[in-house]
Amino acid sequence: MRELVGVILAGGRGTRMEPFSRRYPKPILPVCNRPLMDYHLEAMYQGGIREVFVVIGHLGYEIARTIGTSPQAGMKINYVEQSQTLGIAHALGQLQSYVKHPFMLFLGDIFFRTNGLLAMIERFRRQDSGSVLVVKEDLPEAIQKNFAVLLDASGNGLVRRVIEKPRYVQNRLKGCGLYLFDLPIFDAVRRTPRTAMRDEYEITDAIQILIDDGEPVTVAAVVDEDINLTTPFDLHSCNMAELAELGVDNLIHEDAVVHPEVALSNCIVGPRARITGTGRMKRCVVFAETKVDLQGGTLRNYVMTPDTAVDCSQRIVS
């Protein structure tokens, strides 16, 4: 049985996440008081992975400082810097000289709630090469923002085509940004052309090269929830969804201070945050080290950091 390692692509700039992305790279944005990337590492650890390679770029030192090199017992994190951001395939190509085993790949700006990755891993081991793509049935508008997965007629879950951000959706199967790859993916990446549409090297083009080469590319439906953290609205929605999943009214870090005359409802308050004054806060996310002085009234649907506060009541259209 061949060893699996992990890969997390965490080098993007995240311009649509501004103003938060000026200080926080997306992979360490908090989801219920945990860095987003912590969820990825936990899933990998539960799947038996003990070594992970993280591609960093924008504010990469903040990721390394927050996560460290051994976040869980027996797990080792290696950081590899990407000097240019030219697409997912380009980022993956930075790892060719480092990764010597089949690997599980997470995109570092997507929150996943899985129903267990062991079935995906077992499928990958049975086919003994190629790749496994995590898919989910979703609405056409969600597929248009990600990529479509078309299966062949065999009924064995074999992929015949992947289409990046399709204008016309042919089915309801969406690629989710979570993969298992064998080493031939690096050969496919080297042969991946730069796209005219986004002037980047797309991972879907590399996957299609694998398919055309005859490598087995199959699917696994192991994700119940996937949220792309693209805008502040997405960050707020993700926190609210996970808070509901936890089944608690509020999540207040033990190192936070909330004045007794402040009423909270569906709020997440990070470590060393201080909320003073009087009033109400509903469906708000308060980052670590943030000071909030309420002057009466009610704050709703805000994400608040030490530097700024964003009203997420209205969806931000990208």
| Tokens 């190629």 belong to residue | 130
Q: What is the pLDDT of residues 201-238, one digit of tens each?
A: 899 999 999 999 999 999 999 999 999 999 999 999 99
Residues 6+ away with beta carbon under 8 Å from 183: 99, 100, 101, 102
Q: Is the pTM of this model over 0.85?
A: yes
pLDDT of residue 69: 86
The percent of residues above 90 in pLDDT, for the chain, comes to 82
Across the chain, mean pLDDT equals: 92
| Dihedral (Cα; 258, 42, 71, 275), 10-degree rounding | -10
Domain spanning 5-228: CATH 3.30.365.10:
no
Q: Residues of CATH 3.90.550.10 domain(s) within the chain?
A: 5-228
Burial of 141 (0-12, 13-18, 19+ CB in 10 A): exposed
pLDDT of residue 2: 76
Q: What is the pLDDT of residues 51-103, one digit of tens each?
A: 999 999 989 999 999 998 887 778 999 999 987 778 899 999 999 999 999 99
Low pLDDT (below 50) residues in the chain:
316-318
